[in-house]
């Protein structure tokens, strides 16, 4: 009885396994059951394309001026809006199937399912053989104003590649006005302070600086030394004596008596040494 029951159970299990394997070939091959909704194809999203603006060639003159149509792409085709009119450079753009334009660049506008570019550039008419001049800046003259007046002088600016400078009145040493002329191919953009445009196409700088006449410093000497050949070192010693005495007086006024006595002693020694030097020079004169 037990053997019959065991055999029947084994046979039932084998039958179930075979039935599942034969009834599910898709599960055995793909790992999942087929989906009936998979037969419906999803819609394809359009590709976003970008519109390009026309360009231009604008050399000297007008003979070679021309507008350039943008090159076609996979998504967009371009053509002239009015091809019969050579002076009209408006452009029409069409998108191909499966492409769409999201953002319109400047100059473009929608037009009945297409896109219109409205031409605004104005061609120039610069004569050939001429180049735009280079801009340069003017330099003002400088001066040397030493003590007294013997060494006072005005200094003319150095010439540059674009500008030549000269004195306005070279025969008058007291006149320091300057004339500047630009070389060919150069132009002055802005006039600095002091410069004005001259009638001959040049530029005039009007001098305004007034030279000073301050006295030059004279080294300290003594009457005896001047007549007896007192040297520069001797005069410097006298200067040191005077400076030391002044310092001692200042310290005494502030109440520092000890330091002031020390400085006065040093000054006395300097005076004694200077006297010995003068006495020896007078004795050997």
Q: Model confidence over 116-136: pLDDT tens digits?
A: 999 999 998 878 876 677 888
In eight-state DSSP terms, residue 36 is: G
| pLDDT tens figures, 203-238 | 999 999 999 898 988 765 544 444 444 444 444 444
Is residue 48 within a helix (H) or strand (E), and if so which, with residue range?
strand 47-49
In the structure, what pLDDT confidence band is assigned to residue 36 with cuts at 50, 70 and 90?
very low
Contact at 8 Å (CB) between 98 and 112?
Answer: no
How is 102-132 classified by DSSP, letter by letter? -SPPTTEEEETTEEEEPP------PPTT--P
Q: How far apart are CA 231 and CA 22, in angstroms?
A: 133
Q: For residue 156, what are the β-bridge partners? A: none
Token pair of 59, please? 């050399």
CB-count burial class (<10 Å; 0-12, 13-18, 19+) for 214: exposed
- Is residue 178 exposed (0-12), middle (13-18) or buried (19+ Cβ within 10 Å)? buried
* Chain mean pLDDT for the chain: 74
- 3-state SS, residue 150: coil
Per-residue pLDDT at 6 exceeds 80? no
**In contact, 186 and 169? CB cutoff 8 Å:** no
**Closest CA relative to residue 52, chosen from 69, 36, 40:** 69
First to last CA, the chain: 165
Claim: this prediction has a pTM higher than 0.85: no
User: Scanning the structure block, which residue is given the tokens 């002091």?
Assistant: 194
DSSP letter at 34 equals -
Task: Choose from 76-90, 118-132, 237-251 the range with maximum mean pLDDT.
Answer: 76-90
Q: Cα(207)–Cα(195) distance, rounded to whole angstroms?
A: 10
- Percentage of residues of the chain with pLDDT beyond 90: 28
């Amino acid at each position: 009885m037990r053997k019959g029951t065991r055999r029947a159970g084994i046979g039932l299990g084998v039958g179930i396994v075979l039935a599942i394997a034969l009834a599910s070939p898709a599960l055995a091959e793909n790992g999942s059951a087929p989906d009936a909704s998979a037969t419906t194809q999803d819609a394809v999203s359009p590709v976003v394309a970008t519109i390009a603006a026309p360009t231009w060639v604008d050399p000297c003159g007008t003979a070679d001026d021309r507008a350039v149509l943008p090159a076609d792409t996979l998504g967009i085709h371009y053509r002239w809006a009015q091809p019969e009119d050579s002076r009209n450079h408006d452009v029409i753009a069409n998108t191909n199937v499966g492409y769409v334009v999201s953002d319109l660049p400047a100059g473009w506008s929608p037009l009945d399912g297409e896109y219109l570019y409205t031409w605004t550039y104005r061609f120039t008419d610069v004569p050939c053989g001429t180049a735009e001049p280079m801009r340069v800046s003017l330099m003002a003259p400088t001066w040397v104003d030493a003590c007294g007046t013997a060494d006072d002088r005005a200094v003319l600016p150095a010439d540059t590649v674009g500008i030549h400078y000269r004195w306005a009145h070279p025969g008058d040493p007291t006149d320091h006005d300057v004339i500047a002329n630009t070389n060919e191919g150069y132009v002055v953009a802005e006039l600095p302070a002091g410069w004005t445009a001259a009638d001959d196409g040049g530029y005039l700088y009007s001098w305004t600086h007034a030279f000073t006449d301050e006295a030059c410093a004279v080294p300290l000497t003594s009457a005896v030394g001047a007549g007896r050949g007192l040297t520069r070192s001797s005069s410097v010693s006298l200067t040191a004596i005077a400076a030391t005495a002044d310092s001692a007086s200042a310290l005494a006024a502030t109440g520092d008596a000890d330091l002031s006595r020390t400085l006065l002693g040093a000054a006395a020694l300097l005076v004694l040494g200077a006297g010995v030097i003068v006495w020896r020079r007078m004795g050997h004169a």
